[in-house]
């Protein structure tokens, strides 16, 4: 009886949901999209199963799923045999003693350490410093199209609390009382979280993101939420295009567009960005910031918009490697709510002798540079002048990254993250609709099979093994930011940390250029020290766009 009822229900379900909307010709045509070929007999045998699958899909589509819901499969950048320190050592920061500038506008480009010294020694209050940066945001934010919202009431409340705590002798550390901004894909209660996209420009998520909570606990002061390319792509958002502070006719790149632009223009001492594939490194390089993309899983993504669960990473955008180390030391870790996030030590030693690090350079990328005046070559010479013996390393690229693994992984996951967005035609409300924007990308991705996604991730695992093998002989790998083949895609897939710093200006367009330091898994301390030592031997991080001084 039960068996008969089950068959009856199955028959009714098939009739209601399928109604023979799939034909055998459809299967034959669809197979071509997946590089397959089926015989007529095979299609006959498949036909009932394909229709039954469609029933399951349609049932699933009746239940909306929030962007914040994770996959049950969590990416892990750690390979078998990897061993990491377990104890967090106390970081002995080097105090930058300073005094208030004669020209108050110079404060805009003081380092975090300098600002912290001014606050700790009560040369300036957090309220006064916060008001100073809010005024700069109001003055220059529209010029750069880099601000989505100014969180003035939150900022003044947090700044007042910081002053009270410091006055009572409860100093929390270098970020206590320091203003900053967030990329507007992080939820903060009582604020809009727009994701940079027109359909969500009035969205409020009543949650505090993990990274915001960590910074609040450190005493930092949130002054603004900055622009991002719509749904974390590029520098075009629902209000226009974020500008490059060095040339207002150029975009800032993205997707952490506003975070990079605002930091470089001195609207905040630092900002928080995210990267799935280039979204910290690219705008930082383009605008002349120091951008840290940490190891995958280093910082919990709770309260952040999900684009790709196995690729999304959070990191600071600053004006120096030392500032990036200060911010990272406060925000790394997990709340236990992000399945991929971990607590691992960050044992940064700003006093360490650079010659104690094994520093390599990507020989196969540098060998492609035929113009001997290229700035990247001068970086290598700077390290040689420090007494560093650079180790040539062939970065695994050609013959390893044989097809676009990244495109398959990011396309499948992002389309899933925005399933309802596509299915309910919310995508029609997006400002940009080119073949290269998310609306079309999500639609194209719907024609990818689960088999291809799984196999791409199996190739990804092989890639992780190859990169680990190449990186074992070094602590830091110096790599050109541009002209480095598939390096960006590869290291985002493997989860390797990277930091980029400015190295001068392109003689063709006058825009900043950068170098990238790659590290081993959880190796942020080494790459930040290398970047710090380079910046101590150069002048580029001290150069600021004239329009914003």
* Domains parsed from the chain with CATH numbers: 2-61 (no CATH), 108-398+457-548 (3.90.1300.10)
Q: Which two tokens stand for residue 365?
A: 């990328």
DSSP single-letter state for residue 446: T
Count other C-beta atoms under 10 Å from residue 385's C-beta.
9
Q: What is the mean pLDDT of residues 35-41?
A: 95
Closest alpha carbon to 270 in 188, 326, 211? 326
**Active-site position among 125, 126, 183, 284:** 183
Closest alpha carbon to 466 in 499, 498, 491? 491
Closest alpha carbon to 440 in 432, 451, 452? 432
* Tokens 């006064």, residue located: 128
**Active-site position among 279, 308, 414, 514:** 279
Residues sharing a CB contact under 8 Å with residue 210, sequence separation 6 or more, in sequence order: 299, 300, 301, 302, 303, 304, 334, 335, 337, 338
pLDDT at position 19, please? 53
Per-residue pLDDT reduced to its tens digit, 493-504: 999 999 999 999
Question: H-helix or E-strand containing 392?
Answer: strand 391-393
Residues sharing a CB contact under 8 Å with residue 511, sequence separation 6 or more, in sequence order: 244, 246, 247, 250, 286, 505
* Tokens 């390393």, residue located: 393
**Is the peptide bond prior to 54 cis by the omega test (within 30 degrees of 0)?**
no
Confidence of residue 260 (pLDDT cuts 50, 70, 90): very high
Per-residue pLDDT reduced to its tens digit, 483-495: 899 999 999 999 9
To the query of whether residue 538 is one of the catalytic residues in this protein, the response is no
**pTM of the full predicted structure?**
0.95
Chain mean position to CA 70: 18
* Tokens 């999900």, residue located: 306
pLDDT > 90: percent of the chain? 95
Give CA–CA dist 52/15, Å, rounded. 10
Q: What is the mean pLDDT of residues 87-114?
A: 97
Q: Which two tokens stand for residue 103?
A: 């020209």
To the query of whether residue 201 is one of the catalytic residues in this protein, the response is no
Q: Give the three-class secondary structure for 193.
A: coil
DSSP single-letter state for residue 318: E
Q: What is the mean pLDDT of residues 352-368?
A: 97
β-sheet bridge partners, residue 240: 237
**Active-site position among 126, 255, 261, 308:** 255
β-sheet bridge partners, residue 244: 247
Identify how many contiguous H helices and E strands the chain contains and give both numbers. Answer: 18, 15
Confidence of residue 21 (pLDDT cuts 50, 70, 90): confident
Question: H-helix or E-strand containing 240?
Answer: strand 240-241
Average pLDDT, the chain: 95
Residue 322 scores a pLDDT above 70: yes
Give CA–CA dist 438/307, Å, rounded. 11
Residue 194 scores a pLDDT above 90: yes
Residue 15 scores a pLDDT above 60: no
Residue 16 scores a pLDDT above 50: no
| Residue 260: half-sphere exposure toward Cβ, Cα within 13 Å | 38
To the query of whether residue 256 is one of the catalytic residues in this protein, the response is no
Q: Which two tokens stand for residue 6?
A: 């089950």
Are residues 199 and 429 in contact, defined by beta-carbon separation less than 8 angstroms? yes
Q: Give the three-class secondary structure for 475.
A: coil
Rg of the chain over Cα atoms, rounded to whole angstroms, equals 25
Residue 100 scores a pLDDT above 50: yes
Per-residue pLDDT reduced to its tens digit, 128-179: 999 999 999 999 999 999 999 999 999 999 999 999 999 999 999 999 999 9
């Amino acid at each position: 009886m039960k068996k008969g009822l089950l068959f009856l229900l199955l028959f009714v379900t098939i009739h209601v949901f399928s109604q023979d909307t799939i034909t055998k010709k459809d299967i034959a045509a669809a197979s071509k999209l997946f590089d397959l070929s089926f015989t007529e007999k095979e299609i006959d045998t498949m036909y009932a199963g394909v229709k039954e699958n469609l029933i399951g899909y349609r049932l699933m589509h009746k239940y909306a799923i929030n962007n914040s819901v994770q996959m049950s499969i969590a990416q892990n950048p750690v390979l078998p045999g990897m061993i990491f320190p377990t104890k967090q050592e106390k970081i002995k920061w080097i105090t930058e003693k300073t005094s208030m500038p004669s020209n108050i506008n110079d404060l805009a480009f003081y380092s975090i350490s300098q600002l912290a010294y001014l606050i700790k020694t009560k040369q300036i209050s957090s309220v006064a410093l916060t008001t100073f940066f809010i005024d700069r945001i109001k003055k220059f934010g529209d010029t750069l199209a880099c601000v989505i919202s100014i969180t003035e009431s939150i900022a003044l409340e947090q700044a007042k609390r910081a002053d009270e705590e410091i006055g009572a002798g409860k100093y929390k550390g270098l970020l206590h009382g320091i203003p900053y901004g967030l990329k507007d894909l992080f939820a903060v209660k009582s604020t809009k979280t727009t994701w940079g996209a027109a359909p969500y420009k009035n969205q409020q998520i009543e949650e505090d993101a993990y990274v915001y909570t960590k910074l609040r606990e450190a005493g930092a002061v949130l002054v603004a939420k900055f622009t991002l390319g719509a749904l974390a792509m590029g520098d075009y958002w629902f209000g226009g295009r974020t500008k490059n502070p060095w040339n207002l006719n150029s975009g800032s790149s993205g997707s952490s567009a506003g975070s990079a632009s605002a930091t470089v223009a001195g609207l905040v001492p630092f900002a928080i960005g995210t990267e799935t594939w280039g979204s910290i490194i690219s705008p930082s390089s383009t605008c002349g910031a120091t951008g840290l993309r940490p190891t995958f899983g280093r910082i919990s993504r709770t309260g952040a918009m999900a684009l790709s669960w196995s690729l999304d990473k959070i990191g600071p955008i600053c004006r120096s490697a030392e500032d990036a180390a200060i911010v990272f030391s406060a925000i790394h870790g997990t709340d236990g709510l992000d399945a991929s996030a971990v607590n691992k030590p960050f044992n940064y030693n700003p006093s360490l002798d650079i010659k104690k690090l094994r520093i390599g350079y990507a020989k196969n990328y540098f060998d492609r540079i035929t113009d001997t005046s290229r700035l990247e070559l001068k970086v290598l010479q700077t390290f040689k002048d420090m007494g560093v013996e650079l180790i040539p390393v062939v970065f695994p690229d050609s013959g390893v990254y044989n097809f676009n693994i990244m495109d398959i992984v990011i396309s499948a996951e992002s389309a899933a993250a925005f399933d309802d967005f596509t299915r309910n035609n919310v995508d029609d409300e997006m400002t940009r609709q080119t073949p290269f924007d998310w609306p079309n990308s999500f639609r194209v991705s719907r024609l990818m099979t689960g088999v291809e996604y799984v196999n791409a991730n199996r190739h990804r695992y092989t890639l992780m093994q190859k990169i680990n093998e190449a990186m074992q002989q070094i602590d830091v790998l110096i790599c050109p930011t541009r002209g480095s083949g598939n390096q960006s895609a590869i290291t985002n897939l493997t989860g390797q940390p990277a930091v980029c710093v400015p190295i001068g200006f392109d003689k063709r367009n006058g825009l900043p250029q950068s170098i990238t330091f790659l590290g081993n898994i959880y190796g942020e301390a080494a790459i930040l020290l290398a970047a710090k030592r380079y910046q101590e031997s150069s002048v580029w991080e001290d150069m600021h766009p004239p329009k914003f001084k």
